[in-house]
Structures are given as C-alpha cells and as structure tokens.
Amino acid sequence: MLNILFIGEANGKIGRRAIQELLPGLKKELKPDLVILNADNLAHGNGVSEATIKEMITAGVDAFTGGDHCFGNIGSLNVYDNDLPLLRPANYSEKAPGKGFIVLETNGHKILLISLIGQVFMSMDHNNPFHKADEILSNLANNNLSAIIIDMHAEATSEKIALAHYLDGRVSAILGTHTHIMTADARISESGTAAISDVGMTGLADGVIGVDKAGIIKTFLTQIKTTHIIPETGRAIFSAVLLTIDPKTKKAKSIKPIIKYINIK
C-alpha cells in the first residue's frame, strides 16, 4: 500500500514552523511514502520563495501544489523555472511560468500529482479545470502509475464536489484547498476515489483563517479593508489528510483527516 500525507496550505512563517515541529514525528508515526504541501501562502501568506520551498524540503516535504496566490511574490517568480517539485495550477494561462503536474517516483512507484484551480468566485478567468484534467489524464493516466492525486484549489464547494464526481474512478484522490477550514466530508466513492472538500490550513489557529483577528473584525465593523497581519507566534493548527492507496489498482482504501495544535514561540 502507498501512504500519502497531504498537508493543507501553510500560511506564513507560523505555518512553516508548525510543519517543522510536527512533521518529523508524524513521518515516524505514519511512515508516508510521499508528503505533499499546498504552498499557496507559504511566503508570509502570499506565494512562495526559493528559501521557503527549500525550508520545507528540509523539513520533510516532497512536493508542492499551488493556488490563486502562487504568483503573489512577484520577486520570486523565477522559482517556478527551477528544478523544484513545485506546481502552479495547470489551468493557469499557458504563458504563466512553471508546470501544473508532475510524476513523482517513490519506493518504485510513480505518482501523478496535478494542481488545479477553480473558476467559480475566483478572481482570475482561469481555464476550465474539468477540461484540463481530461487533457492531462488522457496523456498520462496509463503511464504505469500507482496513484493519481489532484489538488483542487477552489472557493465553491459545489465545484470541488462536481469535479470529484466527474473524475470518479479515474483518479485516486481529489483534495480541496483554498478556504482554510477543514470540511467534515472526507469519503471514498464506490469506485475508489477519495475526496474531501477542503483539507484546511496550517497556520495561526486563533485568527481568522490564518490572519490576525483584530484587523479582520475591524474590516467587518467599518467596511474599510485593513492590512492583513500574520503573527509569527501563537497557537498554530496543522491540518492534513493521510491517504492509503492500492498501487495495483490506484484505488484509495482510506482517507484519514489529521488536525493537531501546537504553540509556536
């Protein structure tokens, strides 16, 4: 069996530190063959940098998916041209740097990892994720793969669930990200596809989806947008799911939500 640990998007330094503190112990306990992290908010809540990616690789992460903030750190766009296991959504413009999928090899197994982004309620006019998934799978699905994992970064739960139904039986797992709150719908279909509408976030636990609560509350009270502040210390939440997949059939056997809290000083 293949064990794959997927960590919900890390938000800023406090999220990275939570991973550094908790991941080594989890790897000893769970023995994952692969660790994947959504890196959309890795560099202070806005995209990535080469330093933060390498920091997470050192902590034990094997590959990274993206989302609507993946190009937020304008000064680090060249990181997508480096030979790093870093993805941006495959259905971004073809003119965007980077790649949207990767075949990872671990313990003699090939795992196809795809990063997608939704269209509903999202700020950019992204290409259709359903069509892009079809395109990628038609080219790679029969390439002696042991598992196919999709990160669907989207606002609308309906869009994530619809994609899970559309790709049912064709992929091992569809894992939702973006809304920063883990949903209570982790499941496996009769066809062997695991799904969850949102894996949740790894970052500040006592804020508002990873941001200091005072400024967010002020925005709701005054209707004037305030600067988002991400504290570097405090209580952090670590959100993830552990997938167990049969490499002979690419079917999921289990999906286990994981939530842990840790004080970051």
pLDDT of 50 reads 94
The predicted model scores a pTM of: 0.97
Q: Residue 82 has what pLDDT?
A: 87
What are the extents of the domains in the chain?
A: 2-204+234-259
* pLDDT tens per residue, range 109-129: 999 999 999 999 998 889 999
Q: Which residues pair with 176 in a beta bridge?
A: 152
The closest alpha carbon to 5, from 188, 262, 249, 238, belongs to: 238
CB 170 within 8 A of CB 150: no
How much is the pLDDT for 254? 98
Q: Please name the CATH architecture into which domain 2-204+234-259 falls.
A: 4-Layer Sandwich (3.60)
Longest Cα separation, the chain: 56
Q: Cα dist. 139→117, 148, 245, 248, 254 in Å?
A: 20, 13, 22, 19, 27
Quick one: pLDDT at residue 141? 66
Question: Which residues share a beta bridge with 37?
Answer: 7, 64
Which residues are catalytically annotated?
69
Dig out the tokens for 42 from the structure: 């890795």
Residue 173: C-alpha distances to residues 89, 180, 237 (Å): 16, 19, 23
Per residue in 21-34, pLDDT (tens digit) is 999 999 999 999 99
SS3 147: strand
* Positions in the chain short of pLDDT 70: 141
